Structures are given as structure tokens and as C-alpha cells.
Structure 1
């Protein structure tokens, strides 16, 4: 394991590398406002042991990456997408296998559409189809508004109830309250089918809290999305040329059914439904997920 803080165009990005540099590279792209260490160490270790060079990183304004004065230096989701390419460049990689989670899946889809030469294969986990404005579906659900015909499936009632309460509640007053809220959110995202290890989750959330330069800076990702709400090109997924694996849990609370839509729209894409998985990456599914990613990224 080797940790690097790279500086690209004035933005510091924390990165971490595992495995033999001579092995095929996998770049792990986590979701919006999420630290790279949410790619579980055990899962990353399985990929490295399977003969892959694995790189994970923190987005700008997240974790150990640099924080930005958004008012003085505003940026958009397009810039966050470009950071993926900046990480590849910093490691001297013309291309890599992209394995992406949640909103990171939108970044992966966008790069596969606009920079196909950089993507050897694409794996999208717990994500929504590019160009469908999934955030609008979420906002309508939180506001209790009906979804227009033909829109994406909304989150589950349990997901909506939790985040509706969060929005109406005062912010956490101290470290303990913040971590408790983070655990409660993780429990909802985890789903109800698999056992939830609260002690292990507390250790993870304490790690996330402690390693953040400024935990409040993650809100800048919302500002970045608002600054460029139309960054997602519509009707573009047919242009994806990279072999694509789409993964969704059978108990996905945030984006239920979205995986099948992605797989429908990308030519030749494969859909893998993981029994019991929600929107997180719990230990119970590491073996199945790692085996699927290793098989998908085997270079022929």
C-alpha cells in the first residue's frame, strides 16, 4: 500500500495504491460526498490479491483531499469528473478499469461516453443512468411530490422517511451526534436483508470523521451540482463502448431498479443482482463482488 497526495491544477487529491504496479489497473471511484475509504479494505485487498493494481482516492473537498473556498473558486460536477482523469494522469495511466459506486457511477458513465479511450472496462455499482437527473427524482420524493410518468423509480419509503427527518432536524451539535447520525444513515443505506454490525460501522464512521480535513466541506458537492445541473448528456449511453458490468443489490433503497435501466441502455452490458445488498458494500458481499469485478477486468 502506498499513499500519495497529488496536486493537479491547484487541487490536492489524496490517493492510495495497492498491489503490483505491473498489474492491470483498477481505479475505484466513490460516490458524491463519500471518502475513498468507503471502498472497504477487505474488498480492495481481494482485488489486489487477484492480480490488480488498485487505486482509490478522495474527491476534492472530501476526506484528506484539499478543501476549496467555493465562493472564491467555484467548481462544477464536470470538474469532479475531470479529477478522475487527473488521477489517471498522475499515475501515468493512459487508461484503467473504472469501478464506480453510486454517483461515482455517473462519473464513470460520463467518462466512458466522452473519453472512451481512457476506460478499459466499466463497472457501475448502485448507480443511476446518466442523463436521467436522478437528483430530481429524489427531491420530488423528499417533498412528497408525485413522480412524472416515465421517471426513474423513486427511493424506498424508509429512505425517504429518514432523509425527510434529517432535513427537518437541527445539525449535529458535536462529534458524538455527528457520528451517530452517520451510523443511522449507513443503517438505512445498508437495507434490512443482511445483518448490520453497528460496532464495525461506528469504527468506520469514526475513521471517516477523524480523517476529514473539514467534514462540512462535502456540502460543496451539492453546490457544484447546482452550478451545472445539466452536466449529464441525455440519451448518450448507447455511445459507451467499454465492456460494462452493472451491479445492484436486491435491497437497494436509494436507486431501486436503476441498474436494469443502465444495463438496458449500454450495448452488451451485463446486469448482476446481488442478493440482500443495499446501497453499501458490506462484508457479506465482498467475495461475490470481488469475483465479479476480477472476472470482468480480466484482460483478454
Structure 2
């Protein structure tokens, strides 16, 4: 009996070891390229070609200053921050109110409207590139940060609404009834009670969308042409194209490090909130 009882434990332990190995391999697959990019950002071009995989022979920190100045990374960072935060504001106003209305109120066509939101998530964003271009053209919003903010913020409303729907739907109706008895209207109830209770979901949506806005390239390239208004992904590509036959690898990799730092910092700060939000959304949805 004792021998039989030990077999399942040994099997569980073996599975755990295999799982840990797979996880560590996945971690290395993500971290090692980032470490290589960081080390390359501190090399001279000569050092890069003669010592691709090794440590820098001389730590060239001036690559970051050169990338910031010659590659217009500074203006790209500012434009990306403005566009990302503006798009987040537009998205949250639209998605939180939509998710609250769809999850808490009964009205004709509610299920069809919710199904339309879900169907919109499945549409590849590249398909909407040309229609959105002509819409911005008619509104005189091409080559403006405002146009990019509206495109980003409104395009992600279906996904954000879908994510927040489960959070609002799971909240007790007694809270709304108590607020109504105290004289609070729908807007005040939403703003002071329902929205704070859905905070984990709201934070999760904010972070996921921020990373998406920050890294987006095709729409920013298509809708904005003025160099001073370009976001950082487009600026990086143009910086590479300007190099022509001789790429400044140190400055280019420094530009990539500057680009990914904000997303890493944001994720590290809100990591626990994101995990709670995803878990709660999975259970409540």
C-alpha cells in the first residue's frame, strides 16, 4: 500500500519539474533577447561587428544621447505619451459607460448590441485602415494627434467593453437599489459606487490598451506625416531608414531600449492589479 501511495506523488513531482523547466525556458526566451539588445546599445559599431555576442569592450553610454537627438526619440516619446493617454481617456469614458449600460439595464436590442461589440473584436484592425483614413480626411483630422487619439481610443472600445461587461454584471443589484433610495441618480451611482468596485477590471483594460497604443505602428504611419508629430515606433523605423547603408547599431538599440522602458515600468507597477483583474474577470464573466 505504501509503495502504491508513493507513485502518484512521484508522478506529480516529475510533472512539476517538467513544468518548471518549460517555464524557465520561456523566461529565458523572453529575457535573453532583451539583455542582448541592452548590451548592444552600449557598443560601438566596430565592437558590434567584431563582438556580436560578447560584453561591450567599452561601454558607450553616448549612444543613448545620440539616439535621443539624431533619431528624434525625444519628440517621439512625448507624442506617444500624449496620444496614449488621450486615447485611454476616450476609451475609458466610452467603454465603462457602455459596459455598465449593457450589463445592468434591460432594453430592446441589448443582446444584439452586445453581440455586435463581440463581433467587432474579431475584425482585424488592418481592415479598418483605409475607411478610418477617409473618415479622418473628411473631418480634417489627418496628420493630427487628435485624429490618432480618436482612432486608437474608439477602435479598442469593443474589446474594453467586453472585458468590463463581466465586472459590472457581477456586482450586486442591492448596491444600486440602496443608492437609489438615498436619492442618487444613475450617473452618480455609476460614478461613486459601480466604477470604483470595477477598479481591477478598469486597471487591466488601461494597461492592456496602453501597451497596444504605445507599440502601434501601421495607423500612426498612415495617418501622421509631420516628423514632429510622429510616435516613437514610426520614429524608430525612420531612424533606421535614415542610416541607409551604414546602420548605427548602438544608437538604434538604445532607441529600442528607450521605447520599451515605459511599458515595462507600467507593467511592473500594476502587475498585481492586472493579475487580479484577469482572474476576477475570468471568474465573474
Report which of the two has the higher share of strand.
Answer: 1
Q: TM-score, normalised by structure 2?
A: 0.23
Q: Rg larger in 1 or in 2?
A: 2
Report which of the two has the higher share of helix.
Answer: 2
Determine which structure has greater relative contact order: mean sequence separation of CA pairs < 8 Å that are 6+ residues apart, divided by chain length: 2
Q: TM-score, normalised by structure 1?
A: 0.23
